[in-house]
Structure 1
């Protein structure tokens, strides 16, 4: 039987206000050693921002990074998954939506994030992606 998302997800996702600037969010991502944050107002999830979004949509666009608000960079979180859904279901959604991360939502609130790397470690622990995803981060 396939494992459930709750078994492989990263719990307690970091959420940030859409009003924060990208420098503040980038520092939080560095300090917490994470590659994505949820953008939320209270329990209302507005979207997701990755480290790549900070560069491609934020810094590369020009302007003062301390003035660019994270809410303007967020990808809308149209695809989510529940903690009791299967790993296979997450892979299916990621393929269909061409996304690498899915917010995990329970009772309307974000409770985690599952990444393509998490799936690789679970489904094929001998793959190159699984090795990279399981490795300690570069510092």
Structure 2
């Protein structure tokens, strides 16, 4: 069975919890991504920050992106997947939490990200269709 490690995008780049939303937006632009994991000074995952978070929670709320810290935008418990978890667990986790991206951890270390697109490329069409339906409803 396919594991998260086999289909993830490795070398996920974090935004530091003390860096600003503006720093995050610049990093997203440089990397061509729409989300970044938020990591604390202890290198542990604190959350995920999306381009939508920056638009809605910072700009839309009238806040200055150069002043808002990425860590302040982290919400609740971070949903992750283990590097050696099987594809079925990825599908269940994404569906249950209605997320399009899952940080992949090995112990407490971030080793990559599994995105909806990674799943679409790696798994059979019916399973991908079920995932898309679950996330979109």
* TM band (smaller chain): 0.7 to 0.9
Question: Secondary structure of the residue that 2:112 maps to in structure 1?
Answer: strand
Contact 1:3–1:87 at 8 Å: present in 2 too? yes
RMSD between aligned residues: 2.0
**Alignment correspondent of 1:67:** 67
SS at match of 1:47: strand
Say which is worse superposed, 59-68 or 75-84, in terms of deviation. 75-84
Deviation, 1:75, is 3.4
TM-score (norm 1): 0.82
Kept in 2, the 8 Å contact 1:77–1:103? The answer is no
After TM superposition, give the deviation of residue 65 of structure 1 in Å.
1.6
Structure 1: any 5+ residue segments left out of the alignment?
A: 129-139
- Counterpart of 2:50? 50
Q: Deviations over 1:69-101 (max 9, x none)?
A: 111212345321111111121011011111111
Using the TM superposition, give the Cα deviation of residue 20 of structure 1 relative to its aligned residue in structure 2, in angstroms.
1.2
Q: How does 1:72-83 map to 2 (within 5 A)?
A: 72-83=72-83
Give me the TM-score of the superposition, normalised by structure 2. 0.83
SS in 2 for 1:117: helix
Offset, 1:110: 0.8
Instruction: Tell me the residue number matched to 2:38.
Output: 39
